[in-house]
Amino acid sequence: MRLISAVLALALPASGAAAAEVIDIDVAEAHGCALYDDGAVWCWGDFPGTELELPFSAWPVDGLPAAKTIATGRFGACAVDHGGDLWCWGFDLQRSLRNDDFTMTLEPFRIDGLPRVKAVDLGFVHYCAISIAGEVWCWGDNPCGELGCGDREPRVDPTRVLYVLGARAVSAGVNNTCVVLWSGQLSCWGSDNPTMVGKPFIYESSEPLLFDMDAAGPFRTVSNGRNFACGILTSGEVTCFGSNIMGQIGTEEPRLGEGWSGIGEVDGITKAEDLDTSYFNACAVQGGKVICWGAPLFTPVEVGEMAQLPKEVPGIEGATRVALGPVFGCAVTGGRVMCWGTAELFGSPLIKGMTPNQAAPVPGLP
């Protein structure tokens, strides 16, 4: 009997053993991914490379080493493993450019030509990663100088961004990129450059430009939308800058600039814990609540409302992380990933029960 008990003790999980918990999420057009504290990554939605079957359910990313950070983009997702290698799945940009083809795969592939990295972000059709040493490396499409290489030529292989050292956070937008330096200063490049407040939206710089620290800062993190960006300051406030045509700055009275473009602190947010932006929207986590502003694509609004000042997403408590795509958002809350918005697949909500006013859990996650 003792032998049988000993064998069962080895074969069965210990009573009360903690289940893996979600520690990070990211979403894009119609898909998203979640990172668990055991390094596992699960994804859901209309993911590039999948043959989607309904009813929809999340699935684990097989063949991926234990990850420590993730990012999703328009055509796929990437993860940094604990050894500093970068793995991606979905659209294989490098193979597609080399072979003049459009290659999709759900099998994670390692990105060659990089030093050891600690963070990554995916733009519209470009990628940027931060090395362990604080360098920034970018590759992909480059029509607006979003790679920061001093020209507008695409790069198949990762290329080091000029003049940037000591980066600690990166955000790749539609056709631009921003990084936060260890000093808390912000540097951006590409089109609609948010460091050039008051310039026309078509303004481009193929080399990094520094944000004026007298205007805002120091920053802790940054998130880059289509023609604006927002960052959490070390004080906990959220400052947004760039276009304000859809209320992206989050205040009726920008501190600097005019109504259509400027800089301002988001109304009512003084202790932000997390932040994300999409094309014309932004959301922050504060006190377990998710608060969103900007274009009313998936946030609860009144009929006919064209732009929205900060408003709490209903039904979400105890949130720790938030992520936005163009038409839906998700938050980590109570050990679950809850999503809300208008994203649909084949005429049905991306997630059953999800509406702009009602968050629903992602089915199939552990």
DSSP string across 18-84: PPP-EEEEEE-SSEEEEEETTS-EEEEES-TT----SS---EE-TT-PPEEEEEEETTEEEEEETTS
Residue 243 has what pLDDT?
83
Q: How far apart are CA 243 and CA 228, in angstroms?
A: 5
Q: Say if residue 7's pLDDT is above 50.
A: no
Q: How far apart are CA 97 and CA 88, in angstroms?
A: 15
Residue 284 has what pLDDT?
98
Residue 56 has what pLDDT?
78
Q: How far apart are CA 285 and CA 273, in angstroms?
A: 5
Q: What is the pLDDT of residues 172-201, one digit of tens each?
A: 998 899 999 999 999 999 886 666 665 655
Number of other residues whose CB lies within 10 A of the CB of residue 142: 22
Summarize the confidence of residues 54-77 as an average pLDDT: 92
Q: What is the pLDDT of residues 250-279, one digit of tens each?
A: 998 888 776 677 889 999 999 999 999 998
And the tokens for 13?
């999980």
Residue 196 has what pLDDT?
65
DSSP string across 128-160: EEEETTS-EEEEE--TTSTT-SSS---EEEEEE
Residue 268 has what pLDDT?
95
Q: How far apart are CA 137 and CA 113, in angstroms?
A: 10
CATH number of 33-361: 2.130.10.30
Residue 5 has what pLDDT?
37
Question: How confident is the prediction for the chain on average, in pLDDT?
Answer: 87
Residue 32 has what pLDDT?
95
Q: Say if residue 76's pLDDT is above 50.
A: yes
